[in-house]
Structure 1
Amino acid sequence: MEFDLSLILLALPIVFVLGWLASRFDLRQLRIENRQAPKAYFKGLNFLLNEQQDQAIDAFIEAVQNDPDTSELHFALGNLFRRRGEYERAVRVHQHLLSRGDLAQDDRHRAQHALALDYLKAGLLDRAEEALLKLDGTRFEAQAHLALLANYERSRDWEHAAQIARSLESKGQGSFKGRLSHYLCEQAHACIATNDMAQAEQHLTQAMHTAPDAPRPRMDMAKLQFLQDKPALACETLTQALVTAPTAIGLIAPLLAQYAIAAGQGVRTLARLKAAYAHTPSLDVLDAIVALEAASGAPTATAREWYARHLEIEPSLVAAAKWIAGEKLEHEQFHPQVQRALDQAVKPLTRYRCAACGFEAKQHFWQCPGCQAWDSYPARRVEEL
């Protein structure tokens, strides 16, 4: 018994020392790991600030390996992969987050939203739609609906786009009446393509009621009426458009001149366009006036006078090129070369430019092909901006 007691007494200090050493080792290891994780994190942040995304990704991967339970690092890494265009890796990161049982509910919704954005950027629209619909009732619902709206617009699913737009408007996310009218016009175009004129007319009538001040529904209705061999009715519709959307006169005037000539209403329309031009000089209105005068048998000299008068109002290379086209030069043999040079120089000035992204095009678009913004193209050409 004495032997056993002495052995225990001897072992106690040894056990104490070993325990103390073990605790010191654990603390030291913990401090090392805690220093490594923030170091890797700040290293990645520094790379991000210097726009070195490859090195930032490597640093964040190192940080995630040191602290795999930190969701913020996973979110940062997933966002970096998406910005780099590595959508598959971004999807894996966000799917890994969603598979974790210990993830907070708000972080789960956040990961679901990030995963939906990954699918959108990758062009996987069906998967994106499925992921976005799961965010109903969360704090990401409004963002998800806006993304869904863009998704439906890209896939030209105008009926579902209209449903989402109405939902957003009912929840105080702004007015979507302009977009809803565009959706109806797009549906009308699809009906015209299948020769369903009655349904197209119904869509356009609804579009005019939805956005009474928008120029497109009346312009499209006039085009439909002209297709149905009703040029006088088309002229009346465009005349209404001049009243409800006067800023779009540059788009309306060429159509109005064309339909007025067909309907035999050139004189009345000419007077109306001259009054509009006197109020707001525009090259497109001027071209419509010249076309109407030419149809009435006015001499070409009158057209040159109009362009010369426009040059007195404002300097315009486009008007100068059109004026000089009908003018006789002192060295007439060089006229074709001079005219070609002028026509080439004015081409960029006759384009339309998106006010949102700067994308330029020969024709006017209701939705920008570059940034997908609606009504971002002014009704005036580049030279007149």
Structure 2
Amino acid sequence: MGFDLSWLLWALPVAFALGWLASRFDLRQWRLESRQAPRAYFRGLNHLLNEQQDQAIDAFIEAVRHDPDAAELHFALGGLFRRRGDYDRAVRVHEHLLARADLPPRERERAQHALAFDFLKAGLLDRAEAAFTALLGTRYDADAKVALLGIHERSRDWARAAEMAQALEGSDRGSFRLRLAHHRCEQAAALHRQGHTTEALALLESLVHQVPQSARAWAALADLRQSLGHVDGGLAALEALADHCPEHVPLIAHSLAQWSLMAGTPERARSRLADWAQAHAPSLDVTQALATLDPDATTARQRYIAHLRQEPSLVAATLWLAGVPLGTADEEPLVRRALERAGEPLKRYRCAACGFESRQYFWHCPGCQGWDTYPPRRVEEL
């Protein structure tokens, strides 16, 4: 039986027509999806401008579904997840990007950078450290070093923190000399606790010569010398602090007064504190220290009156009233207790960055983890 060529003549036009219809269908589908993707994207952008993060996430998820190869949409979605605190989903988005073989090197570094911050925000410090370490030497090198510095500080790994601060010194991120000094002070404190007093003393003495602007280094050196019985050496360190960091004198005024009395040199401390008081705004700590150094109680009380003439102070008034009878023997304790209770919150220190208040002065704020964010004055004096 012979082959009928007429079927071939009919089949070719039919196949062509089917192919043309299929291409038209695919083209329409592609156009429809390409229109839906930007619509979803712009809808998500509109929600972002209106601070509607949940609706923006839904819109971006829809946009990613229509255009799964768009890296920019993934970055937007991952950033939204992180801002909302949904760190697991942010990690999955950025890990999905890193798993793509077709991702350009520049976008791969960007995804690694975003993933590192996902881990950091989630509190996964070990994974964040590994992710940021992978960014060293890239265009995110400075960001990675700053983040690693913060991780080492949170982990209280002061040796590695000091190493990272040294690496950042001289970069476009500013000076890290004072921050490095804090790390060295923490190392010295650890050495002292472990009984390595000689090493701690040598570290602090070297530090004050390298970073004389560090008030903490001078104060730590003074405390260590005094604890070893070297009162004169401690006083010398406090006087050096007053010369290099005069704004921090209120923090050491009490120690300067007490140690000078122990050393038998009260006049020297009185003269230095009086000169400081004339050149700076009134400080309750300096006024108290001067009152301590005055041998006559009446003269000491006049210090508080002089303070009150310059600046109203409930704490100074309470100290002045310490030498004045306040009613009967039964009434006086009640009045004094009420005055002390009212003045107690005014004696605190307050972080200028986050507002965290404490009776103790902190070089490193427990609230915001900032360094040198506490003014060296009481709340009442701010």
TM range (shorter): over 0.9
Question: Which whole-Å CA distance do the structure 1 matches of 2:299 and 2:328 have between them?
Answer: 23
Is the Cα contact below 8 Å between 1:44 and 1:60 reproduced in 2? yes
Cross-structure match for 2:149:
149
**Mean alpha-carbon deviation: is it higher for 13-22 or for 77-86?**
13-22
**Mean alpha-carbon deviation: is it higher for 319-328 or for 29-38?**
319-328
Question: Which whole-Å CA distance do the structure 1 matches of 2:352 and 2:189 have between them?
Answer: 25
Question: Which whole-Å CA distance do the structure 2 matches of 1:19 and 1:172 have between them?
Answer: 61
Cross-structure match for 2:302:
305
Aligned length: 381
Is 2:21 the partner of 1:21?
yes
Question: Which whole-Å CA distance do the structure 2 matches of 1:201 and 1:135 have between them?
Answer: 37
Q: CA deviation at 1:333?
A: 5.5
Which one-letter code corresponds to 2:139 in the other structure? R
Cross-structure match for 1:289:
290
What TM-score do you get using the length of structure 2 for normalisation? 0.92
What TM-score do you get using the length of structure 1 for normalisation? 0.91
Cross-structure match for 2:368:
371
Question: Which whole-Å CA distance do the structure 2 matches of 1:198 and 1:191 have between them?
Answer: 9
Cross-structure match for 1:75:
75
Q: CA deviation at 1:140?
A: 0.5
Cross-structure match for 2:109:
109
Cross-structure match for 2:340:
343
Question: Which whole-Å CA distance do the structure 1 matches of 2:82 and 2:9 have between them?
Answer: 64
Which one-letter code corresponds to 1:119 in the other structure? F
**Mean alpha-carbon deviation: is it higher for 271-280 or for 72-81?**
271-280
Question: Which whole-Å CA distance do the structure 1 matches of 2:220 and 2:300 have between them?
Answer: 29
Question: Which whole-Å CA distance do the structure 1 matches of 2:13 and 2:129 have between them?
Answer: 67
Cross-structure match for 1:272:
272
Cross-structure match for 1:182:
182
Which one-letter code corresponds to 2:192 in the other structure? I
Secondary structure of the structure 2 residue equivalent to 1:103: coil
- Gapped regions of structure 1 (runs ≥ 5): none
Distance 1:338 1:45, change over 3 A: farther
Provide the aligned C-alpha RMSD in A.
2.3
Question: Which whole-Å CA distance do the structure 2 matches of 1:251 and 1:62 have between them?
Answer: 58
Is 2:28 the partner of 1:31?
no
Is 2:133 the partner of 1:133?
yes
Partner residue of 2:313 out of 312, 316, 329: 316
Cross-structure match for 2:65:
65
Is 2:93 the partner of 1:96?
no
Question: Which whole-Å CA distance do the structure 2 matches of 1:343 and 1:50 have between them?
Answer: 50
Q: Percent same amino acid among aligned pairs?
A: 55
How far does the alpha carbon of each residue in 1:156-198 deviate from its partner, in whole angstroms, 9 at most, with x for none?
Answer: 1111112211111244432211111111111110011112110
Question: Which whole-Å CA distance do the structure 2 matches of 1:198 and 1:169 have between them?
Answer: 28
Cross-structure match for 2:256:
256
How far does the alpha carbon of each residue in 1:324-382 deviate from its partner, in whole angstroms, 9 at most, with x for none?
Answer: 34323467854444433333333332222222222222221111112222112111122
Q: CA deviation at 1:276?
A: 1.9
Cross-structure match for 1:237:
237
Is the Cα contact below 8 Å between 1:180 and 1:207 reproduced in 2? no
- Gapped regions of structure 2 (runs ≥ 5): none
**Mean alpha-carbon deviation: is it higher for 373-382 or for 133-142?**
373-382
How far does the alpha carbon of each residue in 1:203-248 deviate from its partner, in whole angstroms, 9 at most, with x for none?
Answer: 1012202211221111111100111011122112211211111111
